[in-house]
Structure 1
């Protein structure tokens, strides 16, 4: 499966957010679903890391 820049990637089993992390890193939007709170919290932290990195790059 593949997607183009700007498209949305959906993962029904989010886990720690690896797929959404990479989607955002590569210029896509990511949507994921996770039932377990601990996995969801980890996924949020992971995706926030890539978002913070993009903000820092935009400053230079």
Structure 2
């Protein structure tokens, strides 16, 4: 992921932690970034597994 700006990090906090008590602190933004990266890593794995399953015909 490219370098993220402050506004992008705020958007990720709103997406992943909508009820955060302190949405602008470093820890909250770090957690939101972790959750976003984890989501896309899991998505990538699921797509790869789906493609493998389709190719094998099971």
TM-score range, shorter chain: 0.3 to 0.5
Highest Rg: 1 or 2?
2
TM-score normalised to structure 1 length = 0.45
Give the TM-score normalised by structure 2: 0.46
Larger helix percent: 2
